[in-house]
Amino acid sequence: MIVNKIKVEQLIKDVSPVQLVAATKYVGVEELYELEKAGICCFGENRVQALLEKYDQYQGSVPFCMIGTLQKNKVKYIIDKVCMIQSIDSLSLLEVVNKEAKKKELIMPVLIQVNIAKEESKHGFNQEELKELFDQLIEYPNVVVKGFMMMAPNQENVKHYFDQTKALLNKYQLLYPAIPLKELSMGMSQDYQEAIEAGATIIRLGSVLFNEEEEK
């Protein structure tokens, strides 16, 4: 895949101050350097094995974050290699991240993945489960929850779900003012504009950054 450098540079300007995370699932290390030259400030990986391979080969300065489903037994491999884990989809995963971060003497920034549409095919917390999670965060001092992440349903009208997620973030900002809930990661290549309109602070873009069309 070929990085569309001009388009990437323009996108970064157009969406600012929203952070553009490049979803790099389908690209190699060469493309990472091109994305860095274009101004990308964070790479988002879906799979642990791919992240580790690229981390070892890439000698640039852009950090990686985890945006895909993370298995508990693989947390230890990436805990000191990512700047954020955006896909905390269970309390048990949060426990493991806290445990592994403590071993490395790290404080790991995370986003809580919410399943607003309650889709069986997607991971994440339902709204009804969040209160219990937040009440237990004090037990995990080596993680800091920065906000929410969501994946929109595969539908034409997704703004309703983006708006719901933003409202949920606002609610928890009021309920837990001591927690720095400032980030809202939502929106991909096909719907990032609607996500930004709804209040996204982070978007995860894949195919729109390249000349070939292929989504993450």
Of 8-12, 36-40, 175-179, 210-214, where does mean pLDDT reach its minimum?
A: 210-214
Written as six digits, the tokens of 208 are 């729109």
**pLDDT for the residue 214:** 43
Of 35-39, 71-75, 118-122, where does mean pLDDT reach its minimum?
A: 118-122
**pLDDT for the residue 212:** 59
Q: What angle do CA 14, 16, 17 make, to 5 degrees?
A: 160
Q: Is 214 left (phi over 0), alpha (psi -120 to 50) or beta?
A: beta
Give yes or no for residue 215 having a pLDDT over 60: no
Give the DSSP letter of residue 142.
T
Q: Distance between CA atoms of 140 and 216, rounded to whole angstroms? A: 31
Torsions phi, psi for 122 (to 5 deg): -115, 150
CB-facing half-sphere around the CA of 144: CA atoms within 13 A: 13
Of 119-128, 135-144, 158-167, 174-183, where does mean pLDDT reach its minimum?
A: 119-128
Give yes or no for residue 62 having a pLDDT over 90: yes
**What structural domains and CATH numbers belong to the chain?**
5-209 (3.20.20.10)
Of 2-16, 55-69, 116-130, 191-205, where does mean pLDDT reach its minimum?
A: 116-130
Torsions phi, psi for 95 (to 5 deg): -60, -45
Written as six digits, the tokens of 74 are 């693989």
Average pLDDT over residues 125-132: 90
Question: Of how many residues is the chain composed?
Answer: 216
Of 206, 208, 209, nearest to 26 (Cα)?
A: 206
Give yes or no for residue 216 having a pLDDT over 60: no
Q: How confident is the model at residue 140 (pLDDT cuts 50, 70, 90)?
A: very high
Alpha-carbon separation of residue 41 from 61, 65, 164 (angstroms): 9, 11, 28
